[in-house]
Amino acid sequence: MTSKTTLWLALALGITLGGMTHAADSIEPTAKDPNLWLENIDGTKQLDWVKQQNAETVKKYADSAEFKQLDARLLEVLDSHDRIPMVGKMGDYFYNFWRDKEHPKGLWRRATLDEYRKDKPNWETVIDLDALSAAENENWVWHGVDCLKPAYRHCLIALSRGGADANVTREFDLKDKQFVKGGFELPEAKSRVAWMDIDHLYVATDFGPGSMTKSSYPRIVKEWKRGTPLSSATTVYEATDEDMSVSAMRDNTPGYERDFVTRQIAFYDSETFLRGKDGKLTRIDVPRDAHVDIDRQWLMIEPRSDWTVGGKTYTSGSLLATNFDDYMAGKRDITVVFEPTATTALDGYSWTRHQLILNVMDNVVNRLEVLTPAAGEWQRAPLGGAPALSTIAASAVDEDNSDDYFLTVSGFLQPTTLYYGTLGQGDAQAIKHSPSFFDASKYEVSQHFATSKDGTRVPYFEIAPKGLKADGKNPTLQYGYGGFEISLQPAYSGNVGRAWLEKGGVYVIANIRGGGEYGPRWHKAALKANRLRAYEDFAAVSQDLFKRNITSPQHLGAMGGSNGGLLMGNMLTLYPQLYGAIVSQVALLDMQRYTHLSAGASWIAEYGDPDKPQEWAWIKTFSPYTNAKAGQKYPPVLFTTSTRDDRVGPVHARKMFAKMASLGYDASFYENIEGGHGAAANNTQAAFMSALGYTYLWDHVK
């Protein structure tokens, strides 16, 4: 299955690889950058500085009874036993990873379908991560599992220390429910590991000097045999030093077993090869910026640029299907499964055993179709409709064996409902309901369109109290992301309801360019030299809120994380007059040095290369750390980050705060020592970080 990610809080920036910057304590400030010393992430002096700033921020914003009450209420949402335990099917069981008050690090557990359907399933614990962490004296954070099908007995468990992207990989036996003594095991690294068969793995990891790309990702993928040292693994493919990364995998679908190697050239450019039994690699002949997915006999192609092949031109953002073997043999008989319009974009798709579920966004609202392969044009039928201004998504339960599917429906004011159905056998039945964490009857959702500087219509969602008085005084929180073709769609959030709406605030989601709301064209419109379009769009939404008299600058706060944190940095430095306060989370901010910090080099395709003078000329226009200067009327700003973030890293937020503070501005800073790029390693930390952001904004814009 392929699917574009929908996020309330944009926490996914780049793939989960990349190294942290661990400079020596001897890093010295320079006249050009007096805050360079803060780039030593784990230095004693630097961490003492972090603790000092944290204490000041806690004292000012997180030490009141009101804050502690909000913190507890947000934790109650995250720890609720009534949340839907989302599952994935392997063999006869449905697996779920679960955190709550009693299990802060989490349980990996399983149940049969009949048991799962019950209001209170009797779960069987497979791994108790709290017990494992205590036994091994490690701060393990769950990072996922890959089990070898079709038996699903042998699994590769990924565990992170403190939430960093780097994982320790260990083999686990699902029958015995214990780690395999003498089994496959990899030390902490940014690894890509996949099963070939019971005795062989594909491994891309840090093999030592020269084995990583300049982006700090694995450059070499090898075939590793059970019972042999990793040093004896045989090389399958070597990417170049300038490439981003490399990986390999085997599709173990019965009857369609094939091996593939992927060379990730840049963030949006890649090559996928079919690996023959003799080890020979044959490239799948599609454009480098196209995404490919192979499912049984089908090759699915998503071109990100218009593509002419076989005498026909296929539109950027389309979904194309063709017989894989025929295509590899040179035939170009391609079926257009989806073609975008001015208002529609592909949001994802999922194969069941015999059919394809297609998820389409129309002005950022979903609709589903079921497609049945046929000669010529495929047969189409609708699959339910989503309520107004909500999100609906469907995916296969077990694509190898059935046409069963899960369907979820969620909205800003509608808690998620999980349905289970079988294609062609009537409507899906609701089997799980998320609880309500606030009284949604008091609010209403509307969609609006602002006009950006260049005339582009930019959609945004508004969640507000019914009968809202348009007097320009409503405390309003505007959230955005605007990058990496990630879409922000309607979704229920108990945290937003409790932390903002219940206080009388208005919540706004801005669907700015750089995202995926209208497919690749919407994303490409804000790439590299055009990056300012995203910030103009966000400003246009703010100005439209003023025009509609919903709020005014002194009552408008803005928040964003990761690439959205960079967005916040630019709203701070480019549009300070529009906001009463800003919160920038796990952000990129120093765009002159971002390629030399953590995993930054991997995002050159998104922002450009600041080491090239001709590109720095326009990158510097959206580098907040570069552009912050004295004598401006900047609104109060809070920067939050995590020491264990080895993707973006804490350096950006540290330096930006230090510069703002040295210039005499009202700036605050908080760095969670754990948490990785999500800035939280458990629900308690997540609740605190959320409460801190919301409290900061409310205190300044109410």
Q: What ranges in 311-458 are assigned the alpha helix state H?
A: 324-328
For residue 315 the two structure tokens come to 């539109």
Residue tagged active-site, from 562, 584, 598, 690: 562
Contacts of 65 (CB under 8 A, 6+ apart): none
List the Cα angle 457/458/463 in 5-degree steps.
135
Cβ 610 vs Cβ 601: under 8 Å: no
Cβ 510 vs Cβ 460: under 8 Å: yes
CB count in 10 Å sphere of residue 24: 7
How far is Cα 48 from Cα 55, in angstroms, rounded to an integer?
Answer: 11
Residue tagged active-site, from 245, 677, 690, 700: 677
List the Cα angle 337/342/345 in 5-degree steps.
45
How far is Cα 527 from Cα 209, in angstroms, rounded to an integer?
Answer: 33
Buried b (16+ CB within 10 A) or exposed e, 287-308: bebbbbbbbeebbbbbbbbebe
Place of tokens 């046929």: 374
Nearest Cα to 560, choosing from 543, 541, 546?
A: 541
Q: Which residues pair with 272 in a beta bridge?
A: 262
CB count in 10 Å sphere of residue 404: 19
Strands 637-642, 667-672: pairing is parallel
What region, left, alpha or beta, does residue 519 occupy, with left being phi > 0 and alpha being psi -120 to 50 degrees?
left
Query: Does the active-site annotation cover 555?
Result: no
Query: Does the active-site annotation cover 677?
Result: yes
How far is Cα 454 from Cα 448, in angstroms, rounded to an integer?
Answer: 18
Cβ 555 vs Cβ 578: under 8 Å: no
How far is Cα 675 from Cα 692, in angstroms, rounded to an integer?
Answer: 15
Contacts of 163 (CB under 8 A, 6+ apart): 141, 642, 644, 674, 675, 676, 677, 678, 680, 681
Nearest Cα to 457, choosing from 511, 506, 403?
A: 511
List the Cα angle 394/679/697 in 5-degree steps.
95
C-alpha radius of gyration, the chain, whole number: 25
- Classified as helix, coil or strand, 185 is strand
Q: Count how many Cα atoms sit within 13 Å of the Cα of residue 20 in the half-sphere of its side chain.
A: 24
**Phi, psi (degrees; rounded to nearest 5) at 338:** -145, 140
Strands 154-161, 178-179: pairing is unpaired
CB count in 10 Å sphere of residue 214: 16
Cβ 84 vs Cβ 419: under 8 Å: no
Cβ 644 vs Cβ 591: under 8 Å: no
End-to-end CA distance of the chain: 44
What region, left, alpha or beta, does residue 129 occupy, with left being phi > 0 and alpha being psi -120 to 50 degrees?
alpha
> Mind telling me the catalytic residues?
562, 677
